[in-house]
Structure 1
Amino acid sequence: MQSVSRTTYDQMGFEVIVPRNPRIISLVPSQTELLFDLGLDDQITGVTKFCIHPADRVKQKPIIGGTKKFRFDVIDELRPDLIIGNKEENYQEGITQLKSRYPVWMSDIVSLREATEMIRSIGNITDVEAKANQLADDILGSFENIKRHDSKRTLYFIWQNPYMVAGNGTFINEMLQRIGLINAAVHLERYPELRISQIGELDPELILLSSEPYPFKEKHIETFMDLCPNANVQVVDGEMFSWYGSRLLGAVDYFNSLKL
Structure 2
Amino acid sequence: MIDQLGNPIDISVTPKRIVSLVPSQTELLYDLGLDESIVGITKFCVHPFHFKSTKQIVGGTKNIKIDKIKQLNPDIILCNKEENTPEIVKACQEICQVHVSDIVTIEDCLELIIDYGVIFKKRTNAQRIIDKIQFHLNNFKTFVKDQDVLKVAYFIWREPWMVAANNTFINHLLQLNKYDNIYDNLERYPEVELKKIRLEGDPEIVFLSSEPYPFKDEHAFEIGRKTHHAKTVFVDGEYFSWYGSRLIKAFDYFIKLRHRLGSISD
Residue 164 of structure 2 corresponds to 166
Give the whole-Å Cα distance in 2 for the aligned partners of 1:32 and 1:59.
14
| Alignment partner, residue 175 of structure 2 | 177
SS at match of 1:136: helix
2: distance between equivalents of 1:48 and 1:223?
A: 33
Q: Cα deviation per residue 1:16-71 (whole Å; 9 max; x = unaligned)? A: 11431420000000000111111101100100011000102343100111101111
CA distance in 1, matches of 2:181, 2:213: 19
Q: Determine the C-alpha separation between the residues in 2 that align with 1:92 and 1:57.
A: 26
Q: What displacement does 1:150 show? A: 2.1
SS in 1 for 2:45: coil
The whole-number CA distance in structure 1 between the counterparts of 2:219 and 2:194 is 15
Equivalents in 1 of 2:50, 2:110: separation in Å? 25
SS of residue paired to 1:194: coil
1:1-260 mapped onto 2 (5 Å cutoff): 8-18=1-11, 19-146=13-140, 147-148=143-144, 149-202=147-200, 203-258=202-257, 259-260=260-261
The separation in 1 between residues aligned to 2:69 and 2:220, in whole angstroms, is 41
* Offset of residue 74 of structure 1: 0.3
Cα distance in 2 for partners of 1:182, 1:84 equals 33
For 2:177, the aligned partner's letter is I
Q: Which amino acid aligns with 2:247?
A: L
Taking every aligned residue pair, what percent have the same amino acid on both sides? Answer: 45
Partners of 1:189 and 1:101 in 2: CA distance: 33
How far apart are the structure 2 equivalents of 1:111 and 1:22? 29
* Larger displacement relative to structure 2 (215-224 or 40-49): 215-224
Q: Is the 8 A contact 1:167 1:186 kept in 2?
A: yes
In structure 1, how many angstroms separate the alpha carbons of the residues matched to 2:104 and 2:91? 25
Distance 2:49 2:218 in 1: 26
Residues 212-221 or 186-195, more deviating: 212-221
Name the SS of the counterpart of 1:17 in structure 2.
Answer: coil
Contact 2:155/2:163, CA 8 A, preserved across alignment:
yes
Answer whether contact 2:208 2:215 (CA < 8 A) is retained: yes
Normalization by structure 1: what TM-score?
A: 0.94
Letter paired with 1:185: Y
Q: One-letter code of the match for 1:56?
A: H
User: For residue 92 of structure 1, what is the amino acid of its counterpart?
Assistant: P
SS of the residue 1:192 aligns to: coil
Q: Is the 8 A contact 1:218 1:235 kept in 2?
A: no
* In 2, Cα distance between equivalents of 1:59 and 1:174: 34
CA distance in 1 between counterparts of 2:235 and 2:106 reads 19
C-alpha separation in 2, matches of 1:150 and 1:213: 28
Task: Summarize deviations over 1:147-181 as a string: whole Å, max 9, x none.
Answer: 32421111000001000000000000011111111
Q: Distance in 1 between matches of 2:116 and 2:218?
A: 39
Question: What are the ranges of 5 or more consecutive residues in structure 2 without an aligned counterpart?
Answer: 262-266
Which structure 1 residue ranges, 5 or more long, are not aligned? 1-7
Over aligned residue pairs, what C-alpha RMSD do you find?
1.2
